[in-house]
């Protein structure tokens, strides 16, 4: 039967942690301790990647790289990457339990998808030890996917590599990539879905890409909300997303639409919407 069998959700900024603030604040802090002032936008740029890769990507940014050379009189090296990551992990672990709240609409959406017989998988840029904190916190608040895969399970080949998606497919017995939907809130999520050959969907509200906490988002006028949603969605489409949604509550209806496209012989990557 040509229908979607499973949905694979990202964690922070998609399922929990509105605005994806847990890691961003720590990235800014560890660079500050190293004498480098990074902007929130720079800290968010590589979001979704394995966290050590994220640090390497930040150090490779022209402005950050120049600041590093100015301060230390040399280009950054792998020792610097490892030292920064050594500070990042315990700092994140100390605060992660405060960022396990499911994003509004996620729990009811997952219930609706399960009632349609869909399996719920997940991928992340967090490690297994980080996910232990997140999984237990989110479960206590009502969110628990059927399967979790981290870059630790794929020899540290995180996003944009497609392997975490394939591990989910194997564990959940999903029969074909084109019968799978991946939903995420970063450009890394979109690329992961595209490279896996699944339907790649970007969610705007609560996303790292949007970068607003819930209070700041709700304080916007309707016109400003529309503008920031549009800008966020455009970013996803530029990375190759098949579709974008405002919030997770739109997902069940979108999956019905994708089922209709599948019935007509369409596949991921060849539908512009």
For the segment 136-175, what is each residue's pLDDT rounded down to a tens digit? Answer: 999 999 999 999 999 999 999 999 999 999 999 999 999 9
Feature table: binding site for Mg(2+): 10, 12, 185
**Shared-domain flag, residues 94 and 105:** no
Say which of 10, 17, 53, 242 is annotated catalytic.
10
Quick one: tokens of 43? 């800290």
Task: Return d(Cα 172, Cα 183) in angstroms, integer.
Answer: 16
Confidence of residue 259 (pLDDT cuts 50, 70, 90): very high
Given a cut of 50, whether residue 112 has pLDDT beyond it is yes
**Position 1 in a domain:** no
**Shared-domain flag, residues 112 and 128:** yes
Residue 146 belongs to domain with CATH number: 3.40.50.1000
Confidence of residue 273 (pLDDT cuts 50, 70, 90): very low
Say which of 17, 32, 51, 224 is annotated catalytic.
51
182 carries an active-site annotation: no
CA nearest 236: which of 223, 225, 226, 246? Answer: 246
**Shared-domain flag, residues 176 and 215:** yes
pLDDT, mean of residues 183-202: 98
Given a cut of 80, whether residue 272 has pLDDT beyond it is no
**Position 180 in a domain:** yes
Phi, psi of 16 (to 5 degrees): -135, 175
Q: What is the pLDDT of residues 5-19, one digit of tens each?
A: 999 999 999 999 999
Domain boundary among 98, 124, 144: 98
As a dihedral over the C-alpha atoms of residue 26, residue 32, residue 37, residue 41, rounded to 10 degrees, the angle is: 0
10 carries an active-site annotation: yes
Which residue segment(s) compose the domain that 228 sits in? 6-20+101-263
Domains in the chain, number: 2
Domain boundary among 83, 98, 113: 98
**Position 74 in a domain:** yes
CA nearest 136: which of 164, 97, 91? Answer: 97
Q: What is the pLDDT of residues 22-37, one digit of tens each?
A: 999 999 999 999 999 9
pLDDT, mean of residues 62-69: 98
Instruction: Name the pTM for this structure.
Output: 0.93
pLDDT, mean of residues 79-86: 98
Task: Return d(Cα 172, Cα 194) in angstroms, integer.
Answer: 20
């Amino acid at each position: 039967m040509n229908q979607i069998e499973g949905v694979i959700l990202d964690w922070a900024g998609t399922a929990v942690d509105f605005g994806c603030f847990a890691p961003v604040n720590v990235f800014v802090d560890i660079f500050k301790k190293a004498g480098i002032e990074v902007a929130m936008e720079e800290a968010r740029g590589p979001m979704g990647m394995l966290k050590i890769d994220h640090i390497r990507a930040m150090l490779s940014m022209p402005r950050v790289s120049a600041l590093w050379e100015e301060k230390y009189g040399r280009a950054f090296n792998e020792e610097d990457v490892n030292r920064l990551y050594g500070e990042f992990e315990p700092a994140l672990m100390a605060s992660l339990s405060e960022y396990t709240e499911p994003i509004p609409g996620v729990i009811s959406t997952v219930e609706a998808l399960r009632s349609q017989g869909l399996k719920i998988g997940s991928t992340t840029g967090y490690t297994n030890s980080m996910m232990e904190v997140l999984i237990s916190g989110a479960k206590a608040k009502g969110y628990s996917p059927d399967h979790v895969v981290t870059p630790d399970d794929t020899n540290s080949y995180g996003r944009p590599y497609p392997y975490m998606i394939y591990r989910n497919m194997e564990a959940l017995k999903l029969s074909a990539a084109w019968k799978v939907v991946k939903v995420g809130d970063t450009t890394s999520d979109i690329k992961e879905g595209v490279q896996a050959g699944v339907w790649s969907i970007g969610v705007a509200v609560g996303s790292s890409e949007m970068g607003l906490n819930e209070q700041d988002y709700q304080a916007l006028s309707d016109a400003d909300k529309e503008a920031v949603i549009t800008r966020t969605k455009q970013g996803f489409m530029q990375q190759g997303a098949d579709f974008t949604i405002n919030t997770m509550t739109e997902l069940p209806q979108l999956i019905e639409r994708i089922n209709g496209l599948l019935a007509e012989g369409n596949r991921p990557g060849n539908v512009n919407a």
